[in-house]
Amino acid sequence: MVTREGSALLSAISLIMENNNNMIQNESPFNNAPGAGPYSNPNPGNMPNPASPPPAYKPPVESEEERAKRANYFEHILIPTLIYAVLTTFFLYNNLSGITMPLFVIATLGYVFYGIKVSNTPFHVSTYFYGAVMLLLGTSSFLTGNETMISWNNTGIFIVLIYILITNFYDTKDWNFVKYIIAFPTQIFGSVGALDDFFKDFSANKKKSGKKKSAVFMYVFIGVVISVPILCFTLSMLHEADAVFAKVLDDFFEGFKFETLVLIFLICILSFFMAYCVLRYATRQKYS
């Protein structure tokens, strides 16, 4: 039989246990969440579940302005790049030291200068000077028969070309010598990644032009028709002016094979994508 004192003790213990349960619920990190309560879910639906997988990555969508820039660039640079690729193949195929070397330099400078103009980039004050340096190196390769000197001249042409791109498209105002050294391999190897820009530019131009596709091909056809007689005339003049080039040309047509045609085609395609990607990667720095 429970006494009055025992009943009071049991009531006090029950009250203490109830207060402890209330304190535990108040200290819970989920107590302040919306809909929290003694029987609420400790991980409500509006809170992230640590065990759930992260959302799938979605690449950023380009704005209409960015796509318009791509389409405009592709429209202006496609045909000049095609022409430059053909000229490069013609000038350099099996002949890196003939009279075509300075002509290759002139074609390269013309293509780069056009790319700078298309990008609405002001010419750096040193651009014309270093262009003259490239032309002198190309002329030196034509005038010398020393293979070592020719190799150094051609390497110098490439280095000066990259320098022209860096000084025109990169913000070099506060650069030191180390930054220039780092920029050279960045421009060279970064151009490989610009191959993706070619397909994006092509896609943007395709969506923009639509019905104008036939006009683009018409322009290409007209350019080819105009360039064929010019090419024949140039071949004739170079054949008479340079004995080395005349021998290369005679050997080419005398021993013409299908494999040679395939090789020339591959060199032309490679020249096209190299020219496009090198210049395109440089323009990224201008737009970034």
- Please write the tens of the pLDDT for every residue from 150-193: 999 999 999 999 999 999 998 888 888 899 899 999 998 988 88
Q: How confident is the model at residue 283 (pLDDT cuts 50, 70, 90)?
A: confident
For residues 91 and 105, give the distance between their C-alpha atoms in angstroms, rounded to a whole number. Answer: 10
At 217 the pLDDT is 59
Asked, for residue 135, whether it belongs to a domain, the answer is yes
Q: How confident is the model at residue 204 (pLDDT cuts 50, 70, 90)?
A: confident
DSSP secondary-structure letter at 200? H
Angle at 205 (CA atoms; ends 201, 211), nearest 5 degrees? 160
Give residues with Cβ within 8 angstroms of 223, minimum separation 6.
79, 82, 83
At 103 the pLDDT is 92
At 221 the pLDDT is 60
Mean pLDDT of 98-114: 92
Token look-up 């210049």 returns 279
Nearest partner of 156 among 175, 182, 132, 177, judged by Cα: 132
Domain that includes residue 227, residue range: 72-287
Asked, for residue 243, whether it belongs to a domain, the answer is yes
Q: Convert the pLDDT of each residue in 26-80 to its tens digit.
A: 544 445 445 444 444 555 555 555 555 566 656 667 677 788 888 888 888 988 9
Query: What is the domain count for the chain?
Result: 1
At 137 the pLDDT is 93
Tokens of 112: 């780069």
Q: Is the pLDDT of residue 275 over 60?
A: yes
Asked, for residue 15, whether it belongs to a domain, the answer is no
Q: Is the pLDDT of residue 224 over 60?
A: yes
Q: How confident is the model at residue 3 (pLDDT cuts 50, 70, 90)?
A: low
Three-state SS string across 96-107, please?
A: CCCCHHHHHHHH
Asked, for residue 226, whether it belongs to a domain, the answer is yes
Q: How many CB atoms are closer than 10 A to CB 2?
A: 8
Q: How many CB atoms are closer than 10 A to CB 170?
A: 19
Report how far apart, in Å, the C-alpha atoms of 133 and of each of 105, 169, 269 are.
Answer: 10, 19, 28
DSSP secondary-structure letter at 57? P
Asked, for residue 209, whether it belongs to a domain, the answer is yes
At 81 the pLDDT is 92
Asked, for residue 277, whether it belongs to a domain, the answer is yes
At 273 the pLDDT is 92
Asked, for residue 17, whether it belongs to a domain, the answer is no
Token look-up 């720095």 returns 285
Nearest partner of 139 among 100, 107, 89, judged by Cα: 100
Asked, for residue 90, whether it belongs to a domain, the answer is yes
